[in-house]
C-alpha cells in the first residue's frame, strides 16, 4: 500500500509532476535568456514560460470546424500524462530511486515516443494542411532518431549487464549502481560512440533548431500546433517542458550519474548537470546554426548518429 502511495507521490510531486514541470519551465526560461544574451538581446524574464502557461490557461480554446474534436482536445492530455509518468521513471543518483516495477529503460523508451506520436495525431486531427505537413515531418524525424536511441539504450544495457555478471540489464537502478562503482560511462572510452550519438539525439528529441523541422515557424507555422490555442496549447507547452526534463535526466542517468552521498548535495549536482546539458546541448546549438531541411536532417541522422550507435553497440558487444 505504501509502495503504491510512493509511486503516486513520485508521479505527481517529485521527481515527476509538479517538480518536473517547474524545473522544465525554469530550464526553458534560462535557455531563452541565455540565447538572447548570446544574440545581444535583452531577452524575456526568467519566469516568462510560467507567465505564458498562466496566460494560456485563461484563454479560450478554439476548435477548427474541420477538426475531429475529441482527438483534437484529448491528444495533448495523453502527451502530458505520458511525460508525467516518464519523469517518475528516471532515477536521480542518491536522491530518488524509482520502484523496481516502473524503473525500466524499455518502458521509458516507449513513453518517450508518445509526445512525437501525440504531435502527429494532433496535427492530423486539426485538419490544417500545415498540420499534415508537420505530421509527415514529425514521422520522418521519429524514424530518424528513434533508431539510434534504441541502439544507445541497448549498448548501455549490455555494458551494464555484462559488467554485473549477467547478459543485459534494462533496469535504470542497475545502470546507475554499476556506474557508481565502476565510474561513469562518460569516462569509459568504450561508451564514447554511444555518448556521441546521444548528443545528436537529445536536441532532436527536444525539437530545437536545427531539428525543429516539424514545427518550423517560418516554414509550416508551428505545424501541428498551428490550430491550438488556450489551455490545450498550454498542455503542449507543459508536455515539452516535461519532455526536456525526462530526456536530459535520461542522459544523466545513462552517462554521467556520478554524485555525492549526501542527498541535498546530490540534488544540487544533478540540477547543475541538467543546466549544463541544456545550455551546451540546446541553447548553444540553437544559436550557433540554422534549421536543416527535413531531407537533410533525415540523411544526417541515418549517417552519423545511426552509424555511431551501431558502432557503439558493436564495440560494447565485442569488448
Partner 1 sequence: MSHDHTPTVAPTYSIPVGPLHVALEEPMYFKIDVEGETVKHVGINAGHAHRGIEYLTTKRTIYQNVVLTERICSLCSNSHPQTFAMAAEKIAGIEVPERGIYLRVVADELKRIASHIFNVALLVHLTGYETYFMHMMQVREICQDTLESVFGNRQDIGAMCIGGVRYDVDEKSIAYILAQLARIEPEVRDFIKTFKSNGTILRRTKDVGVLTHANAITCGVVGPVARGSGIDYDVRREATYAAYDRLPLMVHTQTDGDVWSRAMVRLEETITSIDLVRVCLRDLPGGDAHIHDRPDIPPGQAIARTEAPRGEVFYYLRTNESAQPERVKWRVPTYMNWDALRFMLQDAKVADIAIIVNSIDPCLSCTER
Q: Does residue 69 belong to the site contacting partner 1 (CB under 8 A)?
A: no
- Estimate the crossing angle of helix 105-125 against helix 172-182, to 10 degrees: 130
Q: Are 24 and 244 in contact (CB under 8 A)?
A: yes
Minimum separation from the CB atom of position 67 to partner 1 (A)? 17
- Pick 79 or 131: Cβ nearer partner 1: 131
Q: How far apart are CA 23 and CA 284, in angstroms?
A: 19
Residue 243 is given by DSSP the state H
Q: Does residue 290 belong to the site contacting partner 1 (CB under 8 A)?
A: yes
- Pick 91 or 214: Cβ nearer partner 1: 214
Minimum separation from the CB atom of position 129 to partner 1 (A)? 4
Q: Are 134 and 122 in contact (CB under 8 A)?
A: no
Q: How far is CA 11 from CA 3, 236, 251, in A?
A: 12, 18, 20
Near partner 1 in 13-52, by CB under 8 A: 38-41
Residues 218-257: x where in contact with partner 1 by CB under 8 A, - otherwise, as a string = xxxx------------------------------------
Q: How far apart are CA 270 and CA 283, in angstroms?
A: 18
Q: Is 272 exposed, middle or buried (0-12, 13-18, 19+ CB in 10 A)?
A: exposed
Determine which residue in the list 291, 301, 306, 312 makes contact with partner 1, applying CB under 8 A.
Answer: 291
- Pick 133 or 152: Cβ nearer partner 1: 133
Residues 135-174: x where in contact with partner 1 by CB under 8 A, - otherwise, as a string = -xx-------------------------------------
Name the nearest CA neighbour of 245 among 115, 156, 140, 121. Answer: 115
- Pick 30 or 99: Cβ nearer partner 1: 30
| Among the residue ranges 6-14, 47-55, 131-139, 192-200, the one whose residues contact partner 1 (CB under 8 A) | 131-139
Size of the site for partner 1 (CB under 8 A): 31
- Block residue for cell numbers 540546446: 282
Q: Does residue 133 belong to the site contacting partner 1 (CB under 8 A)?
A: yes
Q: In sequence order, which residues have a C-beta less than 8 Å from that of residue 124 and are 6 or more positions away? A: 131, 132, 135
Q: Are 108 and 86 in contact (CB under 8 A)?
A: yes
Residue 41 CB neighbour total at 10 angstroms: 11
- Pick 43 or 231: Cβ nearer partner 1: 43
Q: Does residue 216 belong to the site contacting partner 1 (CB under 8 A)?
A: yes
Write out the residues near partner 1 by the rule CB under 8 A: 38-41, 129-130, 132-133, 136-137, 209-210, 212-213, 216-221, 286-296
Amino acid at each position: 500500500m505504501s509502495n503504491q502511495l510512493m509511486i503516486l507521490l513520485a508521479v505527481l510531486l517529485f521527481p515527476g509532476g509538479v517538480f518536473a514541470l517547474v524545473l522544465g519551465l525554469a530550464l526553458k526560461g534560462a535557455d531563452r535568456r541565455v540565447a538572447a544574451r548570446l544574440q545581444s538581446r535583452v531577452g524575456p524574464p526568467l519566469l516568462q514560460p510560467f507567465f505564458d502557461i498562466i496566460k494560456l490557461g485563461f484563454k479560450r480554446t478554439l476548435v477548427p470546424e474541420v477538426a475531429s474534436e475529441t482527438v483534437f482536445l484529448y491528444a495533448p492530455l495523453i502527451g502530458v500524462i505520458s511525460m508525467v509518468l516518464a519523469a517518475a521513471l528516471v532515477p536521480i543518483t542518491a536522491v530518488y530511486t524509482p520502484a523496481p516495477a516502473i524503473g525500466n529503460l524499455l518502458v521509458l523508451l516507449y513513453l518517450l515516443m508518445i509526445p512525437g506520436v501525440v504531435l502527429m495525431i494532433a496535427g492530423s486531427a486539426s485538419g490544417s494542411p500545415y498540420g499534415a505537413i508537420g505530421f509527415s515531418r514529425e514521422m520522418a524525424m521519429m524514424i530518424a532518431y528513434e533508431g539510434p536511441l534504441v541502439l544507445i539504450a541497448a549498448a548501455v544495457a549490455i555494458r551494464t549487464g555484462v559488467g554485473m555478471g549477467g547478459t543485459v540489464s534494462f533496469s535504470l537502478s542497475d545502470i546507475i549502481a554499476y556506474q557508481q562503482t565502476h565510474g561513469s560511462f562518460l569516462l569509459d572510452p568504450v561508451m564514447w560512440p554511444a555518448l556521441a550519438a546521444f548528443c545528436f539525439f537529445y536536441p532532436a528529441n527536444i525539437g530545437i533548431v536545427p531539428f525543429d523541422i516539424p514545427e518550423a515557424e517560418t516554414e509550416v507555422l508551428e505545424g501541428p500546433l498551428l490550430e491550438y490555442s488556450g489551455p490545450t496549447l498550454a498542455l503542449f507547452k507543459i508536455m515539452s517542458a516535461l519532455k526536456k526534463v525526462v530526456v536530459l535526466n535520461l542522459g544523466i542517468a545513462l552517462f554521467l550519474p556520478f554524485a555525492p552521498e549526501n542527498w541535498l548535495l546530490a540534488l544540487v549536482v544533478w540540477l547543475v548537470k541538467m543546466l549544463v546539458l541544456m545550455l551546451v546541448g540546446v541553447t548553444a546549438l540553437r544559436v550557433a546554426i540554422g534549421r536543416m531541411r527535413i531531407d537533410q536532417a533525415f540523411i544526417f541522422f541515418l549517417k552519423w548518429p545511426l552509424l555511431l550507435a551501431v558502432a557503439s553497440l558493436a564495440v560494447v558487444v565485442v569488448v
